[in-house]
Every structure is written in C-alpha cells, then in structure tokens.
Copies of this chain bind each other. A is one copy, B any other.
C-alpha cells in the first residue's frame, strides 16, 4: 500500500503556521500507516473546532458532525458496523466542554473507539476564550481578569468514569505520540489519548516550551495499576505522558448489545425482521 495513502492531495490546511495540530496529524497518519490500515478501514469522526478539522486534511472515511457530539456519532458508527476502525477527534472545548456529558457516559459504555483530544487549553477556532482545561489566571478577551474555575482534569476524569485505556501525549513529541495512538487503536474498548497541543495564536502560556518543560514521559510504569495512575494524574506539574492506565477484558459496547448476541452481521446487512414482527403480532392475539 501507498505510504502517502492517508494524505489528502490538494488539501488547504486551515491551521495557523506552527500550530501543534500539524504534528498530531503527522502522528496520526504515521500510526495508521504503521498499523497497516487502509483509508477504507478507518472512520475519523469529529466535532467542531480547529482540532476537529482533522478529517478534512487527510484521506479516510470521515464524519464531521456538531460541536461537542462526536463521541455519540462515533459510538453509534462503531455499533452499527463493528468492523470499522473509529477514531473520534476533537479539541478540549469540543470534548470536555460542550461534549462533557458524552465524554463521561461514552466512557461508561466502553465502545471500541479511539478518542484523540488536542488539548491546547483554549478555544482556538472561536479565537481565544478559556476552555475547561485552561489554567487558573489565564487571561482572554472574555476572562479579562483571568480564569477562575478549577481546571478540568481529563485523564483523571476518564479514570473515574471507568476508561479502559487512558494516555496522554504531547504534540511536540511526534514519535511517542504516534506510539500512543497506535496502542490506543490496538486496545479493545474505549481509549483516550489526551494530547497537549500548543496553540501559537491564542495561548502564549502553554507553549511548546512550556509543555516540554512541564511534562515527562513515563518509564517502567505499571499500566494495570489503577491507584498509581490516579495518583500520577492528580499530582501537580510536571505531568506524566504515556499510557497511564489500561485494563483488558471489559466487554465493549457492541458486545453488550443484544442485537449482536446471535447475529454478528453489521446493521446494514440486516433485513427487516418481519418474521419476528409477525410472531410479536401473534403474541398480541392471546
């Protein structure tokens, strides 16, 4: 297969020069290549935001829905056809703000999808308001005296909600982030990769430099140790990067659906169950 197969020739990439999103896209495409996937195997699902533009800058199936709702789209796409590789991509506002409720409840369902969050701690596309992950004191045209709300901790929240795979990457570290994405995609169940991403236009606090100075890659970490993971992610900076937690064997959302108990066909292969309907009608006759 072609090594450029995930590129989209002629795409007008709408990100600012120098944006961390370019690096993440690179990691993502490399990961897909190294996993030996074809663009026809993969559906990239997204909401709205700079991060959420990703599917328009590469080649694969894509579904670019509403701001904040991509996890619902993605869960259902995977449930409708479990043979697809489904990746939900978005920003911190998209996934943790507008989409916060789906974030929690999607994790509880454990669908077999990969969730990439480009966490730049700001609303990029709408030009620089605070996001749920913005740090206390971060000033913007709306938060004129700086953010005062307690920052949302995505990785800790995912752990508490029951995520079976939780990782954190850094846009600047293309190779390592690529590895995380690969591992997330290989994981059976919901996999979060929260990726620190510098926004060069609106976040002059959390820069490439800041991220590299305030993070470290985990080594010799026991990925199965929930308590350890929790204490790691609750600690102050520097923030650990890598696979924080992983749990195998929990049934995936599709596996819990009665629709698949007997019948393994994807939904589009099914005919209306008219015999069953006639049986139900019979049952209503006595």
- The residues of A with any CB-CB pair to B shorter than 8 Å are 97, 100-101, 104-105, 107-110, 132, 144-145, 148-153, 156-157, 160-162, 226-227, 230-231, 234, 250-251, 256, 258
**6 residue pairs, one from A and one from B, having the closest CB atoms:** A150-B162, A148-B256, A101-B101, A100-B101, A108-B149, A108-B150
CB distance from A193 to the nearest CB of B (A): 19
The residue among A97, A105, A160, A226 with the most chain B CB atoms within 10 A of its own CB is A160
A-B pairs with beta carbons under 8 Å apart, 29 shown: A97-B105, A100-B101, A100-B104, A100-B105, A104-B152, A104-B157, A105-B132, A105-B149, A105-B152, A108-B149, A108-B151, A109-B148, A109-B149, A110-B149, A110-B150, A144-B258, A148-B251, A150-B250, A152-B161, A153-B160, A156-B160, A157-B157, A160-B160, A160-B234, A226-B234, A227-B231, A227-B234, A230-B230, A230-B234
- Chain A at the B interface: SS class: helix
What number of copies of this chain does the assembly contain?
2
* CB neighbours of A110 from chain B (8 A): 149-150
How long is the Cα–Cα vector from A186 to B65 in the complex, in angstroms?
Answer: 44
Chain B residue, CB-CB nearest to A255: B148
How long is the Cα–Cα vector from A266 to B142 in the complex, in angstroms?
Answer: 22
How long is the Cα–Cα vector from A107 to B152 in the complex, in angstroms?
Answer: 10
